[in-house]
Amino acid sequence: MGAETHNVRVLYSRKRKLIYQKWYLNLDTTRCTHAQPVQTTAKVPVPFVVVALATAFPQIKPAKINLSLFGRFGMLQSGLYLKRIKGAAMAKVKISDVAREAGVSLGTVSNALNHPEKLRPETLKLINETINRLGYLPNQSARQLAGGATKSFGLVLPRLDHGFSLQIASGAHNEARKHGYDLLIANADNDDILEDHYLRYFMGTQMSGVMVQPMASPDWHPAMTKMPVPIVHLDIHCSEPGYYVAADNEAQGRIIAELAIARGAHHIVVVGRAAFMQLTLRVLGIHKALALHPDIKIEVIDAGEWNTAADGYGIGAQIAERPANERPDFVVGLTDVLASGVISALVDKGISVPGQVRVAGCDGNPLAWSGSVPLTTVAPPGYEIGRKGVQLLMEQIESKAPAKTKHVHIGSAARTVTAVTAIEDINRQELVRPFLLERASTQASSQTDATAINLGAYL
């Protein structure tokens, strides 16, 4: 057998002081050569007493080892018995070791890892305890080589500072687990280069499918026309071939405009720069709803970044400084962040919300609800978008044409070529209808305050 060199830590005790040292243990020649100590003391005489060494070698046969200490520690020849490694804790534990230790078949262990719902609870518990005790870790690379893809989905989100993205992640996770898949989440941190990096990374690691919520952009289109794995784009509309799931942003605008009409609004101000498709569609929905009510004045302030509360505050301060007869009685923020900023400015300037001006948001972001007046909003059901994204991945996986493999000769080398039968390019769009979440910022004084929301359940 060739030399097996392992890096272990040996615990020594001298005069009640614990000293850790690194040793390189060569099991063939039973020599232990001294390496740089973590802690040293000058002129330490021998002997040392080895307090713990055998714990590093928990299995199989004992072997007598002679330790030779060099360097400033002097020399010590000491005979010790320890258990020789044979698939030891430092060596890789195999699935066959788990099966043997648990007293079950390889197939049962495989089911515990991949299809736990097929096993009885007591069997699953036994196998999991054995896995934890032995420290078994499945070899994902080998599983990829054997099966061609991991039993995992990737999800690329543009940010983790918006409740909508958190809802998508929650819905996707629960639906993926329902189908026996894991979900890996990457945060692009509002960086389109990083978003593209994670998208390619997930595809290159043989994910079974990938979902991506693209960064907001006025001229977005899919970065790749031919995808090596199933992919679903979330929170986006597109006419190009592909699978898309999005909230009905036009309905979001329409619903909030209908609320303003129901509250008797005469002058509505819409706040926010419609810098990308989702915001443009919300403005369109507001205009369509108000087209049937020409007596209601509508004013669009095309300013304010969608994710900047300070911009909303500045616009709210300008509104508060208007004469009372020129001030709107209903303000719609295209995002909840902008609407919260408007409320803060109005309250600071002595304008009552909702007494003098009602304010509503339009994107259901609970991370923007920390203001003094609970905010009314139209909530896109991100949880449902995440669920539907996974369902569309499963639809593509289950309908995917089987790969055909053939052997060809190129020059003197034999090559294996795998081809997948092309399917017709399709454009699959799923729209998820939002819902109104009315709170104190638009409620009439006679209404019951319904501001208590279970944010855990909402997300």
Q: What is the pLDDT of residue 447?
A: 58
Helix axis angle for 382-399 and 163-178, nearest 10°, is: 40
* 250-287: pLDDT as tens digits: 999 999 999 999 999 999 999 998 888 888 999 999 99
* 289-318: pLDDT as tens digits: 999 999 999 999 988 887 788 999 999 999
- 367 contact partners, CB below 8 Å, separation of at least 6: 161, 162, 163
Percent of the chain surpassing pLDDT 70: 67
Q: What is the mean pLDDT of residues 391-420?
A: 57
Q: Are 268 and 299 in contact (CB under 8 A)?
A: yes
Residue 144 has pLDDT above 70, yes or no: no
Cα–Cα distance for residue pair 52/56, rounded to 1 Å: 8
Q: Are 84 and 54 in contact (CB under 8 A)?
A: no
Cα distances from 434 to residues 235, 362, 385, 420, in angstroms, run 12, 10, 11, 38
Cα–Cα distance for residue pair 256/261, rounded to 1 Å: 9
Cα distances from 291 to residues 48, 199, 269, 288, in angstroms, run 91, 42, 15, 5
Residue 126 has pLDDT above 50, yes or no: yes
Q: What is the pLDDT of residue 408?
A: 39
Helix (H) / strand (E) containing 142: helix 140-147
Q: What is the pLDDT of residue 17?
A: 36
Residue 169 has pLDDT above 70, yes or no: yes
Q: 54-63, 262-271, 273-282, 442-451: which has the highest mean pLDDT? A: 262-271
* 344-370: pLDDT as tens digits: 999 999 999 999 999 999 888 877 788
- 458 contact partners, CB below 8 Å, separation of at least 6: 163, 167, 366, 379
Q: What is the mean pLDDT of residues 426-432?
A: 88
Q: 38-52, 83-97, 400-414: which has the highest mean pLDDT? A: 83-97
Residue 451 has pLDDT above 90, yes or no: no
Q: What is the pLDDT of residue 185?
A: 94
* 183-200: pLDDT as tens digits: 999 998 888 888 888 888
Which of 302, 299, 301, 291 minimizes the C-alpha distance to 261? 291
Q: What is the mean pLDDT of residues 49-67?
A: 38
Cα–Cα distance for residue pair 274/272, rounded to 1 Å: 6
Q: What is the pLDDT of residue 228?
A: 77
Helix (H) / strand (E) containing 316: helix 309-320
Percent of the chain surpassing pLDDT 90: 39
Helix (H) / strand (E) containing 313: helix 309-320
Which two structure tokens, joined as six digits, stand for 239?
């006419």
Helices (H), 20-116: 95-102, 106-114
Which two structure tokens, joined as six digits, stand for 362?
């339009």
Residue 424 has pLDDT above 50, yes or no: yes
Q: What is the pLDDT of residue 139?
A: 65
Q: Are 56 and 90 in contact (CB under 8 A)?
A: yes
121, with CB counted inside 10 A (0-12, 13-18, 19+), is: exposed
Expressed in percent and rounded to 5, the helix, strand and coil fractions of the chain are: 35, 25, 40
Mean pLDDT of the chain: 74
* 201-253: pLDDT as tens digits: 888 888 899 999 987 676 677 766 566 789 999 988 888 888 999 989 999 99
Helix axis angle for 121-134 and 95-102, nearest 10°, is: 120
Residue 321 has pLDDT above 70, yes or no: yes
pTM of the model: 0.62
Residue 409 has pLDDT above 90, yes or no: no
Residue 9 has pLDDT above 60, yes or no: no
Cα–Cα distance for residue pair 304/325, rounded to 1 Å: 24
Cα distances from 443 to residues 66, 398, 423, in angstroms, run 83, 48, 52
Q: Are 84 and 57 in contact (CB under 8 A)?
A: yes
Q: What is the pLDDT of residue 207?
A: 87
Q: What is the pLDDT of residue 389?
A: 95
Long-range own/partner contacts, residues 27-30 (CB < 8 A, 24 or more apart): 27/3, 27/63, 27/84, 27/85, 28/1, 28/2, 28/3, 28/4, 29/3, 30/63, 30/64, 30/65, 30/66
Compute how many other C-beta atoms are within 10 angstroms of the C-beta atom of residue 447.
11
Compute how many other C-beta atoms are within 10 angstroms of the C-beta atom of residue 321.
11
Cα–Cα distance for residue pair 107/112, rounded to 1 Å: 9
